[in-house]
Amino acid sequence: MIQPTDPQPAWPRTVTEVAGGPVTCVVCGCRLTIDDQTATGVWHHFSPLGGRDARGCRVACVELPHDASGRVLLGVPA
C-alpha cells in the first residue's frame, strides 16, 4: 500500500528556508564566508588566492563581494 501524500511536508521547500547552511556563489558554486571584520554582511569566496578560488580555478567573481544569497554585489568595493 502506498502512503498518502502529505499536503504540508515538514522539510523546507527552498534553500533560503534552511538556516545555518553554507552560502555558495550562484555564478560558480564556490563556498562563501562572511566578512567578520567590517560587519557589513558582505560575503567573499573562501580562501581566494590571486584570482583563483580555493580549488585553484579561475573564476570571474572570486575577488568580488557577494550578498547572503550568493549573488555578486555590483558597486560595492571589495
Q: Which domain, by its residues, includes 28?
A: 24-78
Report the chain's mean pLDDT, rounded to a whole number.
Answer: 76
Residue 58 pLDDT:
85
Alpha-carbon distance of 43 to 25, in angstroms, equals 9
Residue 16 pLDDT:
47
Residue 71 pLDDT:
92
Residue 75 pLDDT:
67
Q: Residue 9 half-sphere exposure, CB side, CA atoms within 13 Å? A: 6
Residue range 28-46, pLDDT digits in tens: 888 888 877 766 778 888 8
Query: Is residue 32 a contact partner of residue 69, using CB atoms and an 8 Å limit?
Result: no
Q: How confident is the model at residue 47 (pLDDT cuts 50, 70, 90)?
A: confident
Domain count, the chain: 1
